[in-house]
Amino acid sequence: MEEKLIMEDEAIIEEILENGLKVYIHPKNKFVQSLASLQVNFGGRDYKYQIADQDYTLPEGTAHFLEHMLFENNGNTLSDFFIKNNADINAFTSRRITSYYFSTQNNFDALLASLLDNFIDYDFSEKTIKKERNIISQELAMSDDSDEEKAYKSLLRLMYKDRSIYQDIGGSKTSIKSINKAVLNQAVTHFYHPQNMSLLITGNVNAIKVLELLKNHPFNTKKWQTYQPIKRMIDISDKSGRHFKKIKPNLDTNIVEIGVKIPEIVFRDKTLEHNLLTSPFFSLVFGNSSLLYRILKSKNLYNYSFSAAPVIEDDYGFFNISIETKKPKLFIKTLMEYLTNLPELMLDEKVFKAYQRGEIGRSIKAFDDVKKTHYLVKKMLMDEVDIFSFVEKSKSIKLPDLQIYLDIFKKNNIYLVEYLQQP
Amino acid sequence: MKIIKRDIKNLNLYYLPNKKFKTVEIAFVFVNKMDPVKINERNFLVDILLESTKKYNNPEKFNLVCDNLYGLDKISNYHTIGDVGLTTFLFRTVNDKYLNQDDVFAKTLDLCLEVIYNPKIHRGYFSKKSVKELKVQTEELIMSIKQNKNSYSYYQFMNEYTKNNQAEFGFFPDIKNIDKINHLTLSSTYKQMVTDDELYVFIAGNFDFQVMDELIAEKLSFVIERPKLPLDFTSKFIPNQSVNEVIEKTSNGQTRIYIGYDLGFEHSLKNIRLMGLFDELFGGFEKAKLFASIRENLNLSYYVYSKYNEDSNMFYVGLETTKEKEAVAIKEVEKQLQACKMGEIDDELFNQAKNNIINRLERTMDSQTRLLLSNIISFFKYEDVFNLEKRIAEIQELTKADLIDLIQKINVDTIYIYTSEAKKWKKN
């Protein structure tokens, strides 16, 4: 059992079980709650992959469908035991992972054992598959009339050829029709192996007891087949255009989405830790202390819907700026001028120093909240960030380290989507 | 957690000592008798004051000083309960004990006072430009609400549900009064807030009382005592005479359905607790009546929930379904309510709902901000502290018989259907 500090007063125990499961335990014993989440490296993108040089496919939306099915595995309803113990349990599927998580004030060990019981053997009934298909169809239809989502998807389509980046994580009504028992079994065989999972525990727990439980649990003692690593392929090149405009008669306001792609050569540079560097960069260039904020305010272009955020996945990354506005032309003109002038911008040392000081406070506050801590560490694990060096590395970032991003703001790297009201 | 009144000059100053957290939080709460025509101004104020001050006269300078105070968190809102308006400014900073600096809280307090008492105004008025900016932003917000079909349908439903009560509930943005706001009305509302409202200051965290007393006495010496306002926190919902059915057919997606109820019972503490329990077992979690029938048995909807607002004593159900299934879904909600009225609530569900509420209350203890806000509300509404043991006992004492008796008084008031085409729907 190895305990490592991530910052003062905060230690995480890291262990790899015999079955290959990576376990992280972060005791925070002054809090009432404990949280656990089991991550499976199986997400919406995994409908085409390779194992031992052999190509495999799954219907789009299989990971999300399986997430629903895991609540009805082996004829049991997973949530029953949790509800009886007054615990909350839920799950989500993202492009990269499926995460099953619970929080509780009592009986943590029994609940953790119950969660893992569900990931040893799999048996799904046809009746449940049919039921979940109906429910998922409803879920997929929920965003049918969201123009904001359509505009964002249009931006992704413009920037990337690869469907796995812009297709719906849940698949489509058509694709989920072909999800059956055989498909689900293929998915669990290939992806639901402990070596392809990680477990994070945060809160009021006894780490030694929990590790003992995990080691003796059938999930660990079961004789698993040798894990076959999954190989994923992605093409992060774009299509041909960089501008997409759509006039829609039923829009109430105009939507503008801008994407600035991190070029492949920069993105794949192993010396750059984008998850570390893009946050301070964004704060300086797009935050409330930035020149952009002042410009948007002075031209009455800023409103509550304005958002600017880096999107950093493990296989692609870009900067996203979006707004719903009555003045799309002026907004686009202003933004384009600002973005294309960024390579000449001198980053402000004073603002950067204040940001770093702010980050010290924000870290202390984040770790002062058991839920926030759990989500923060989980995000770091999902982003494959080294949680033990994260805080120290963040402190050591220097202003010139961010310069690399300024240079990517070039016309041929900027993508624009406009959803405009019918005049 | 205790609330301790401090006798410092004429201040309404309260400490909430707590050694569990690494932050100190200070809340300034201005209490006024809610003026329904000033809802927009009050909401504008909580935004504009946190944008800049006279000393830090633009957002860049202001954000810079906040970051330099170790990322000072600022939360502000205007909230109405009954005929009372609460304008709250909450600042959250890292406790000096966890920093290599011993004046962060003192500097934070200076900034809080700068934000509230020294705003960027000229000769007593906010600038026309900054007010126009906020108006434009609000107009754009209204457009964004309209564009987002979930927000839009909820907003439309609430307009219908509260159509006899618009003045009492103070929803923002108040579209009908938006044109009336200008730099003069905003400035006079600000003056009213700082001179006429009752001010309460709450400080939570691990600090030395004496040191804090001295600091507060020095920094807030200018605050003068105001007469105590008569406050009425009870909701006076005026229902419709007959069910108000509204079908809006502009959707190009799934149907959103909201059903609002008239709770024909007294807005008393016991009834609030009972209704909170009913809300949980009716549509609050995945074993609740609505979820079990509408999602799990009938697969009519991905989500269905009920929501009880104890401040306004309003209760509604929300769900999304296909247009073909909307009538069945509405019927099923009614069927489940009638079943509950007939006493069809099994013990397991009843006890589970109680446990869920108790668990949520216990979790409040894990967040200093939630604890502070719960205490502020308890303090004003019940002149009491947020006492976990007492709250749990109140929940445990609730009986099924009392609950069934109470829900007999619940009746449908408003049904709002946001759909793609006019559907003839017949009420049973």
CA–CA separation, B115 and A233 (whole Å): 53
pLDDT digits (tens, 9 = 90+) for A18-63: 999 999 999 999 999 999 999 999 999 999 999 999 999 999 999 9
Residue B22 within a domain? yes
Q: Quick one: CA dihedral B32, B313, B174, A143, positive or negative?
A: positive
| CB < 8 Å from A in window 200-259 of B | 250-254
Query: Which of A231, A256, A289 is the endpoint of a domain?
Result: A231
pLDDT digits (tens, 9 = 90+) for B115-163: 999 999 999 999 999 999 899 889 999 899 989 999 999 999 999 999 9
Q: B421 — contact with chain A (CB < 8 Å)?
A: no
Band the pLDDT of B428: cuts 50, 70, 90.
very low
CA–CA separation, B108 and B23 (whole Å): 12
Which of A8, A64, A362, A365 to probe the B interface (max B CBs under 10 A)? A365
Q: Say yes or no: A254 and A218 in one domain.
A: no
pLDDT above 80 (res B312): yes
Tally the domains of chain B. 2
Residue A253 within a domain? yes
> Which of B64, B132, B146 faces A289 most closely, judged by CB atoms?
B64
In this structure, the number of other CB atoms found within 10 A of the CB of residue A414 comes to 21
Query: Which of A187, A211, A231 is the endpoint of a domain?
Result: A231
Give the pLDDT score at B378. Answer: 87
Residue B184 within a domain? yes
Q: Say yes or no: B11 and B112 in one domain.
A: yes
> Which of B21, B98, B251 faces A145 most closely, judged by CB atoms?
B251
Strand order in the sheet with A197-203: A2-7, A10-16, A22-27, A197-203, A34-40, A98-104, A88-93
| Neighbouring residues of B274: CB distance < 8 A, sequence distance ≥ 6 | B398, B402, B403, B406
Residue A238 within a domain? no
Q: Say yes or no: A100 and A186 in one domain.
A: yes
Q: Say yes or no: A215 and A248 in one domain.
A: no
| A30 vs B contacts (CB less than 8 Å) | 20
Q: Say yes or no: B126 and B163 in one domain.
A: yes
Q: Say yes or no: A124 and A270 in one domain.
A: no
Q: Say yes or no: B320 and B367 in one domain.
A: yes
**SS3 assignment, position A92:** strand
Q: Say yes or no: A249 and A286 in one domain.
A: yes
pLDDT above 70 (res B395): yes
Tally the domains of chain A. 2
Q: Say yes or no: B72 and B183 in one domain.
A: yes
Q: Say yes or no: A56 and A181 in one domain.
A: yes
pLDDT above 80 (res B252): yes
Q: Say yes or no: A114 and A213 in one domain.
A: yes
**Tokens describing residue A344:** 């000449």
pLDDT digits (tens, 9 = 90+) for B24-61: 999 999 999 998 889 999 999 999 999 999 999 998 89
Q: Say yes or no: B159 and B249 in one domain.
A: no
Q: Say yes or no: B214 and B263 in one domain.
A: no
Residue B173 within a domain? yes
Contact A354 B146 (CB under 8 A): no
Contact A138 B367 (CB under 8 A): no
Contact B59 A288 (CB under 8 A): yes
Q: Say yes or no: B195 and B281 in one domain.
A: no
Distance from CA of B212 to the nearest CA of A (A): 21
Question: Percent of chain B at pLDDT above 70?
Answer: 98
DSSP of B281-348: HHHTSTTSHHIIIIIIIT---S-EEEEEETTTTEEEEEEEE-GGGHHHHHHHHHHHHHHHHTT---HH
Residue tagged 């946190």 (tokens): B50
Q: Say yes or no: A168 and A290 in one domain.
A: no
The average pLDDT across B317-325 equals 95
Question: Percent of chain A at pLDDT above 90?
Answer: 83
| CB < 8 Å from A in window 115-134 of B | 132-133
Q: B325 — contact with chain A (CB < 8 Å)?
A: no
Residue A88 within a domain? yes
Residue B93 within a domain? yes
Q: Say yes or no: B27 and B175 in one domain.
A: yes
Report whether A76 contacts A124 (CB < 8 A): no
| B64 vs A contacts (CB less than 8 Å) | 289, 350-351, 354
CATH number for B145: 3.30.830.10
pLDDT above 70 (res A328): yes
| B66 vs A contacts (CB less than 8 Å) | 358
Which of B70, B358, B371 to probe the A interface (max A CBs under 10 A)? B70
CATH number for A33: 3.30.830.10
pLDDT digits (tens, 9 = 90+) for A253-292: 999 999 999 998 899 887 888 888 999 999 999 998 899 9
pLDDT digits (tens, 9 = 90+) for B190-240: 999 999 999 999 999 999 999 999 999 999 999 888 888 888 888 888 999
Query: Which of A231, A255, A280 is the endpoint of a domain?
Result: A231
Which structural domain, as residue segments, surrounds residue B307?
Answer: 244-418
Residue B316 within a domain? yes
Report whether B21 contacts B97 (CB < 8 A): no
Contact B367 A369 (CB under 8 A): yes
Report whether B88 contacts B27 (CB < 8 A): yes
Question: Percent of chain B at pLDDT above 90?
Answer: 77
Q: Say yes or no: B409 and B348 in one domain.
A: yes
Q: Say yes or no: B197 and B252 in one domain.
A: no
Q: Say yes or no: A372 and A304 in one domain.
A: yes
The average pLDDT across A67-83 equals 95
Q: Say yes or no: B196 and B287 in one domain.
A: no
Residue A237 within a domain? no
Q: Say yes or no: B205 and B317 in one domain.
A: no
The average pLDDT across A191-215 equals 97
pLDDT digits (tens, 9 = 90+) for A107-122: 999 999 999 999 999 9
CA–CA separation, B108 and A44 (whole Å): 45
User: What is the enclosing helix (H) or strand (E) of A419?
Assistant: strand A414-421
pLDDT above 70 (res B246): yes
Query: Which of B162, B184, B219 is the endpoint of a domain?
Result: B219
**Residue of chain A minimizing CA distance to B251:** A145
> Which range among A300-304, A355-359, B232-236 shows the weakest confidence by mean pLDDT?
B232-236
Which structural domain, as residue segments, surrounds residue A273?
Answer: 243-421
Distance from CA of A354 to the nearest CA of B (A): 5
The average pLDDT across A175-183 equals 97
pLDDT digits (tens, 9 = 90+) for A337-348: 999 999 999 999
Residue B308 within a domain? yes
Higher pLDDT, B336 or B382: B336
